[in-house]
């Protein structure tokens, strides 16, 4: 018997994906992007796929199918992608230099620091702190206040 009980991940055949007409899928894709990205609902810790489905007058299976087919990820990964992108901007912006990682995590919609770190690492393969330090080392003047010019 092997030391670890590791099995290959099986591809699931979600039958409901085929139930969504292509035209409806395209329409829902645009509406999902509008609500999650344009209206910045990804910043809301409590905004779930259920809330999104209610706002769109559909069900969570359709939301799941559209996000899976059109964005090649699940709903949580989809939302976290936008959160991490915003966090990356905040981490290198000198206006937010005094914020803690908990503050940044909260600003972009994560419920806690642990999920923020886990999602950040999954997407960037480094911690938020490492990302910030790497940016500072590559752009040493970026986080410093510019000096006053003398006349």
Query: Which parts of the chain fold into alpha helices (H)?
Result: 22-33, 49-56, 60-71, 75-91, 101-108, 113-124, 128-138
Give 88's contacts (C-beta < 8 A, 6+ positions apart): 124, 131
pLDDT, one tens digit per residue, over 30-77 is 999 999 999 999 999 999 999 999 999 999 999 999 999 999 999 999
pLDDT, one tens digit per residue, over 70-89 is 999 999 999 999 999 999 99
Structural domain spans, the chain: 18-72, 80-138
Class of domain 80-138: mainly alpha
pTM: 0.81
31 CB burial (10 A radius; 0-12, 13-18, 19+)? middle
- Tokens 């000198």 belong to 94
- Tokens 């040493």 belong to 140
């Amino acid at each position: 018997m092997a030391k670890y009980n590791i099995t290959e991940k099986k591809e699931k055949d979600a039958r409901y994906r085929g139930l969504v007409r292509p035209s409806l899928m395209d329409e829902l894709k645009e509406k999902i992007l509008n609500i999650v990205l344009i209206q910045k609902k990804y910043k809301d810790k409590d905004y779930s796929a259920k809330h999104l489905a209610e706002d769109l007058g559909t069900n969570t299976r359709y939301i799941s199918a559209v996000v899976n087919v059109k964005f090649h990820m699940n709903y949580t990964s989809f939302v976290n992608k936008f959160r991490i992108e915003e966090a990356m901007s905040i981490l290198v912006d000198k206006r937010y230099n005094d914020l803690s990682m908990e503050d940044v995590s909260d600003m972009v919609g994560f419920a806690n620091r642990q999920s923020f770190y886990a999602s950040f690492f999954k997407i960037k393969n480094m911690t938020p702190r490492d990302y910030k330090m790497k940016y500072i080392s590559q752009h040493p003047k970026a986080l410093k206040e510019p000096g006053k010019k003398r006349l």
